[in-house]
Structure 1
């Protein structure tokens, strides 16, 4: 079974204004919509769109948490959230030509809540996969990712991590099956600026040397790179109108996982991953299976030397 973990989920409230926002004045929206937010939840929703079952884990509470659970159930996604006392946060995204985001800090979590989550993760087996994605709430230990990775390592549970900075670096000794930084995040990890595929490859290889089994690095419109111990693949990306970058990275994780769990083919899984990320970028919501498959032929994969 595939499990996704979102430690600080949200209801994303998206408000569109036809005109520029005027601070200190009354502004009227032209449309509004809302979705369950959070990187792990995005992965579950994309997997569901592709036809792959998963179970969403995390913390939810209050009327907003109930909304998230109901929304996911209506889409056919199983959940096993830890119930908390405070309301799940609401993130506001203002679309006025440019996008402005206001992300809430989220509810307070107790040690009891955290222990309940860890017991769920301890119940996973070597036949399960856990996707850990997003930020750590301020009230949880800074070592949360490391502790969860250690549990997975002890269980033999394959796990994927989509996080930034120290959160990512500190889980590498536990040998995550997949990590997916973008080129800016990868550069930040090593105190440098990366802008081309050629510059990215040796730094992606450093993450393999530190323990990651597979690494995907996205470079937005300039392509993507896949690196593991044995090979290096590079890809082009489809051409299209970018409508929203929200969830594109999560879609890449979901796309790779969806294809790999069925085929165990790295190259095909990487190609599907890139198509999934592009399909979400070209959509107002998360990608559909139909759009992914429409874009697949535009994703050209090349293999280069594994000697970095």
Structure 2
């Protein structure tokens, strides 16, 4: 019998990142996750909104050229397609100027996205798309209909509300933080940082989450499932830029997480290897052949470390 194909929905921003020199690339954290999930053979649907304008038409055409589904992408006649001015610092880390009142701030509940959620194994979302009341309300409604929720915290100051983050965490099955976001979350909760183990246990107890990921840059990543802690190293690569590396890590993780019988080691190996592969490439959604990624993955073996 043929194994059931994994289906994932990603909710939130899809946009054009404008880099120095006028280079533009499709971006938005949830879309980056969707792109790499698609590359990994997952059936993925992006739930978002673009403007009825030339940037929106180009964006939709590009997504279709990748053979990705566009059923969940709404077209707004009243709000423009999102563009973000991106800059890179001396460490090749990206910084963003995110314009407000764009199409993805006004995502509506539709029959199409309700059907997408009903057919999906999981829903991925972040913080940014909840900055506006309409998209926030749509997100909460879709969360209620989802069977498994994944919150990629992805804090973009000043576009977040601590109360909304807490409400979302209470509805989250798996949360992903980077090290800085973990510290910020503890500060929001008035909790003193003692150790990663203590911090994760506190978050699990507070919000009732079974699974937590802490991405730690060059120091690897921590995956916690119930009371089991798995620490994995990064794969050393020559960094082109870090744009979307965390999103590709999450996509790699999820592409294995829902495979029947996949072990924590297999799940995390897929996560760290895809994250490293994209960090060694330029941009969040570079064109690549899956075969090239698999060659890279299979030539870099990693295993869990002791905390």
Q: Same fold (TM over 0.5)?
A: yes
Matching residue of 2:75: 83
Equivalent pair of 1:243/1:282 in contact (CA under 8 Å): yes
Of the structure 1 ranges 234-243 and 99-108, higher mean CA displacement relative to structure 2 is found in 99-108
Equivalent pair of 2:80/2:102 in contact (CA under 8 Å): no
Give the secondary-structure state (helix, strand or coil) at the position aligned to 1:244.
coil
Matching residue of 2:169: 172
Matching residue of 1:24: none
Equivalent pair of 1:225/1:232 in contact (CA under 8 Å): yes
Q: Quick one: which of 75, 86, 94 aligns to 1:93?
A: 86
Following the alignment from structure 1 to structure 2, what is the Cα–Cα distance between the partners of residues 51 and 110?
A: 26
Equivalent pair of 1:40/1:134 in contact (CA under 8 Å): no
Matching residue of 1:11: 16
Give the alignment's Cα RMSD to 1 decimal. Answer: 3.0
Matching residue of 1:21: none
Cα 1:187–1:102 shift into 2, 3 Å:
closer
Following the alignment from structure 1 to structure 2, what is the Cα–Cα distance between the partners of residues 263 and 203?
A: 30
How does 1:112-123 map onto structure 2 within 5 Å?
A: 113-116=106-109, 120-121=113-114
Matching residue of 1:162: 152
TM-superposed CA distance for 1:253, in Å, is: 1.3
Following the alignment from structure 2 to structure 1, what is the Cα–Cα distance between the partners of residues 88 and 119?
A: 43
Following the alignment from structure 1 to structure 2, what is the Cα–Cα distance between the partners of residues 36 and 152?
A: 25
Matching residue of 2:199: 203
Give the secondary-structure state (helix, strand or coil) at the position aligned to 1:202.
helix
Cα 1:267–1:40 shift into 2, 3 Å:
same
Instruction: Structure 2 unaligned segments of length 5 or more: list them.
Output: 1-6
TM-superposed CA distance for 1:211, in Å, is: 1.8
TM-score (norm 1): 0.79
Tell me if 1:66 matches 2:64. Answer: no
Give the secondary-structure state (helix, strand or coil) at the position aligned to 1:238.
coil
Following the alignment from structure 1 to structure 2, what is the Cα–Cα distance between the partners of residues 103 and 48?
A: 27
How does 1:190-229 map onto structure 2 within 5 Å?
A: 190-191=186-187, 199-209=195-205, 210-229=207-226
> Which of these two proteins has the greater Rg computed from alpha carbons?
1
Q: Quick one: which of 243, 254, 258 aligns to 1:257?
A: 254
Matching residue of 2:267: 269
Following the alignment from structure 2 to structure 1, what is the Cα–Cα distance between the partners of residues 85 and 146?
A: 38
TM-superposed CA distance for 1:12, in Å, is: 1.0
Matching residue of 1:53: 43
Equivalent pair of 1:267/1:301 in contact (CA under 8 Å): yes
Tell me if 1:40 matches 2:30. Answer: yes
Matching residue of 2:101: 107
Count of aligned positions = 280
Matching residue of 1:281: 279
Equivalent pair of 1:251/1:277 in contact (CA under 8 Å): yes
Following the alignment from structure 1 to structure 2, what is the Cα–Cα distance between the partners of residues 252 and 211?
A: 24
Give the secondary-structure state (helix, strand or coil) at the position aligned to 1:243.
coil
Instruction: Structure 1 unaligned segments of length 5 or more: list them.
Output: 16-28
TM-superposed CA distance for 1:189, in Å, is: 0.7
Following the alignment from structure 1 to structure 2, what is the Cα–Cα distance between the partners of residues 150 and 48?
A: 25
TM-score (norm 2): 0.79
